[in-house]
Structure 1
């Protein structure tokens, strides 16, 4: 296809973007000026993985792009998933072969080219409980999984006797299985991956701005011509002009659709999924597990020094920003996982709990809807495209589809998508640095294990992270009460990664809020003081940030003792917002 005319002379190229797509306070102010001054080809609304994926896709096609997000990158569904890049083994049973094949291709791309620093192979045991039909039936499914692309960068399936399965997962009751099959998928820190996609979009010239809420739509005659946005930190508003707007707001799709005044082509239904996090020593195993339940499957997923166990699948019709886990949700997970564990888990074992909302597609009638993990994209009005549904693993395909749908509103012709060839920032040079981890550790006075941990979070950006400690070696010490993370990581989160509030750092740039029993409370003041100089916080702001974060944790803890969604939601929704001028509906 032909290249867009005059792209080199467009306003977007007036300054070279920072080499790593830095998202810091200075870049934030510059991005506001660009939102006001430029006319964009595409404005993407929503900073979840689909939104940042669409922004990266558009930017790498040579389009002028802006992305706005009301809260933080990955603040919704994209930080609360099962943290897997997987083909969706259970979708084979539903005969969704196309979805599985597509997802496996994406998993392979992430492992090998796009994000090898962030996405890692992970082994699972599929326990067998029926002697007659289950092994050949499951083996046939896994054979399809492997041949569709599942066994390229990861090993293929391996059949195990009962004794072999119990050697792999000694935590299992002996009568819980008659054998097993080991297979591989992949995992990533979803919030970190989403943020890195956003930074990569910024690296290729996109405006990426959080705490920037869409409060209205601009129109010229019958077409959408942009959005009006509010900076929810200080209340400023500005009109952002664009040839096309992409609504990538996930479970907020319908709300934004109503704000635009256009009738949607599809509806989005929110399904709540709850996960618990427990210490690694509570389940003795060398692999994760996938367990059948009466409704779906339950995953036991290795997560550094922890296990993630989940998930649930229930309708949610309450606060979309803060879905609340109930005691019933947690009991459900414990009951099902304990049915196969020799030493059962208890509530006291739980370090963290998180609840997320899946944006599932629904038909016009609730009673006849067939909810799906397929995604849908539609040009709902001239100048306005909506995309929803899908699964985290296929975010790149979804982003490309959204930009393709917007092309009719763009002047000139556009290049095809190339994001299957574009590594995320931090990927280039990662493998060489892994081999040099010992030397890097010696240079900075760190243990090699610590450096490898940093490499799996930042890739080749690790030099940028560690350079912040050049004049202050104290930053290479662990965060108080959260020893898995260094103090310099908190500083880097606000100087380069777009974090603006204490909860952004403790909940998404790190996972302190779910990996420690104190859920970040014991680290909150220390982290607030670390980031205060970068963000310009005074003592009153530090105090407020700590109070708001602690109130959030307390509301979540209390909601998790309630029996039903309504009671849990009432408690969680009462906690204060970190972003003072955020209003509903949010984008």
Structure 2
């Protein structure tokens, strides 16, 4: 299959909207540009289907940029005897690590502290052993090391900051971590390379039907210009996560899926603030808490609380942060304090209710497994699941939409590398040579390889063409100016918030949410995007308001007050109101 340019730009977006609304129409219109929608777009495009994908915000602008950033089987689901879900997730984890995204997904060890010496170690060893076995079977070999047991002294040597009284020993096991937003960008760009038409900030406001009542397309508003595009589609697939019910209501007569929203909050602290060689897996009275090491910081979370406010701007509250600190500090000494926190972010999990709206089901059990259904003829809806299983979800959604035709066009995404994955091993072997030739540290090269994979070559070529792009950002010295340029020229960033929220993620990596680097980033991006001084000033002011509003929200006690504080900062590109999900909400 021929692969064309994978670059996302303002021009590619404009041409994509024009092409998807031409008389030919598309085979598949995907609504939603999170990890599930992006995965569906790639799956459909690689089957040779004329595919379009639209997202009302920036790519990954919702849940898919605010996760725990883990690719994992879900060890806790073994204790709920959900073997099928765990096996599926571990199989997908192995594919990401080995084939599809080895540059974006990396193996991560976790320490599971044990509180009782014999019984807990015995049943935990069985559980982790089963986890290892399912991983080996699903990956047809080891994709990560198997479990290792530690005495109390051994565990404290691995993680010296744990309170001695908080454990009697520990088990080390492996999962994996990922920059969730970059995974979504890679999926969209790879789909575009296989012919998909992709447009962010393009919102479906209505679905069109033929005389029989079948959904045959959608009206899409370009939120940047206000222009409306009519798109004809043989199949429409709704993959909008927590917006599932609002979107399916545009084209259904009461059928579809019911999805609840649960808020998950994470805090970020500097790497040097916690002394440990692995991550931590901590069981709480409600769920689990992860302490996850990254290069320059630790991510700690998450919470799990119902969210009843509007779904576009979930924010953390003072109580959310207190909850995380309380549970982390139950095992850490010295304790983490609010003064240590450099970042906070909140996202909404789409929690699928079993059954469909029109099947008469009355169950209230919430499931993490995904479901695909037909909300109306021509309109497929998928919801549930988790980031790790996005590829399987995408395959299932396209299979369902195509019906019997799927046998003639089987999915190939299990063996389709994402942009940056092809040639990654060879690029990584040049690590030391690149560092020497550029005068960089090995850590700098690892940073670039972990973000761009084999596309590090493109970054280097950009710097060769303009050496000024090789400078570090004064307000964010982990990043190069070339990375700002790449965000615009290859990754579809059209606003400063796109860069700081989803590409160079200073919104949670720095104490001031990136404000100290804001003007410097604007100076790099503005000429490429053709901004004049007034437009540049507008973009700077808009991001500053956003950052200040989120900081203010964190000081509020409850969700309504926190959301009110966040909404004091108006959106630079507002989405259209689709109305409430349910009058009872």
TM range (shorter): over 0.9
Partner of 1:576: 570
Unaligned runs of 5+ in 1: 1-7, 9-15
2:46 aligned with 1:52:
no
Structure 1 residue 453, shift from structure 2 partner: 1.1
On the 8 A contact 2:496/2:540 being kept in 1, the answer is yes
2:259 aligned with 1:273:
no
Aligned mate of 2:84, from 87, 98, 118: 98
Structure 1 residue 586, shift from structure 2 partner: 11
**Structure 1 residues 372-428: Cα deviation after superposition (integer angstroms, max 9, x where no partner):** 110010011111000001010000000011101111497x97411111010101111
Q: Tell me the distance in 1 between the aligned counterparts of 2:486 and 2:393.
A: 30
2:341 aligned with 1:350:
yes
Unaligned runs of 5+ in 2: none
Partner of 1:154: 144
CA RMSD of aligned residues (A): 1.9
Q: Tell me the distance in 1 between the aligned counterparts of 2:256 and 2:17.
A: 32
Q: Tell me the distance in 1 between the aligned counterparts of 2:175 and 2:485.
A: 33
Q: Tell me the distance in 1 between the aligned counterparts of 2:190 and 2:415.
A: 13
Partner of 2:7: 22
TM, length-normalised to structure 1: 0.94
Partner of 1:468: 462
Partner of 2:424: 430
Distance 1:284 1:367, change over 3 A: farther
Structure 1 residue 367, shift from structure 2 partner: 9.0
Q: Tell me the distance in 2 between the aligned counterparts of 1:583 and 1:466.
A: 43
On the 8 A contact 2:314/2:563 being kept in 1, the answer is yes
Q: Tell me the distance in 1 between the aligned counterparts of 2:263 and 2:547.
A: 19
Distance 1:17 1:434, change over 3 A: closer
Structure 1 residue 250, shift from structure 2 partner: 0.3
Partner of 1:5: none
**Structure 1 residues 509-554: Cα deviation after superposition (integer angstroms, max 9, x where no partner):** 1211111111111111111121111111111111111111111111
Q: Tell me the distance in 1 between the aligned counterparts of 2:323 and 2:362.
A: 26
**Structure 1 residues 136-156: Cα deviation after superposition (integer angstroms, max 9, x where no partner):** 010000010000015712110
Distance 1:366 1:304, change over 3 A: farther
Aligned mate of 1:125, from 99, 111, 116: 111
Aligned mate of 1:197, from 187, 208, 225: 187
Distance 1:66 1:501, change over 3 A: same
Once the two structures are superposed, the pairs formed by residues 237-386 of structure 1 within 5 Å of their partners are 237-363=228-354, 368-386=363-381
Aligned mate of 1:494, from 458, 468, 488: 488
Three-state SS of the structure 2 residue aligned to 1:324 is coil
Q: Tell me the distance in 2 between the aligned counterparts of 1:131 and 1:296.
A: 22
On the 8 A contact 2:257/2:381 being kept in 1, the answer is no
On the 8 A contact 1:61/1:416 being kept in 2, the answer is yes
Q: Tell me the distance in 2 between the aligned counterparts of 1:586 and 1:488.
A: 42
On the 8 A contact 1:267/1:362 being kept in 2, the answer is yes
The count of residues paired between Structure 1 and Structure 2 equals 571
Partner of 1:566: 560
Partner of 1:74: 60
Structure 1 residue 64, shift from structure 2 partner: 0.6
Q: Tell me the distance in 1 between the aligned counterparts of 2:419 and 2:580.
A: 29
Structure 1 residue 585, shift from structure 2 partner: 5.4
2:187 aligned with 1:207:
no
Q: Tell me the distance in 1 between the aligned counterparts of 2:575 and 2:464.
A: 37
Partner of 2:96: 110
**Structure 1 residues 95-148: Cα deviation after superposition (integer angstroms, max 9, x where no partner):** 100000000000000000111111000010000001231000100000100000
Aligned mate of 2:410, from 409, 412, 416: 416
Structure 1 residue 448, shift from structure 2 partner: 3.1
Aligned mate of 1:180, from 159, 167, 170: 170
Q: Tell me the distance in 1 between the aligned counterparts of 2:254 and 2:484.
A: 43
Three-state SS of the structure 1 residue aligned to 2:247 is helix
Distance 1:581 1:104, change over 3 A: closer
2:27 aligned with 1:36:
no
Q: Tell me the distance in 1 between the aligned counterparts of 2:8 and 2:514.
A: 24
On the 8 A contact 2:487/2:503 being kept in 1, the answer is yes
Partner of 2:537: 543
Q: Tell me the distance in 1 between the aligned counterparts of 2:524 and 2:563.
A: 32
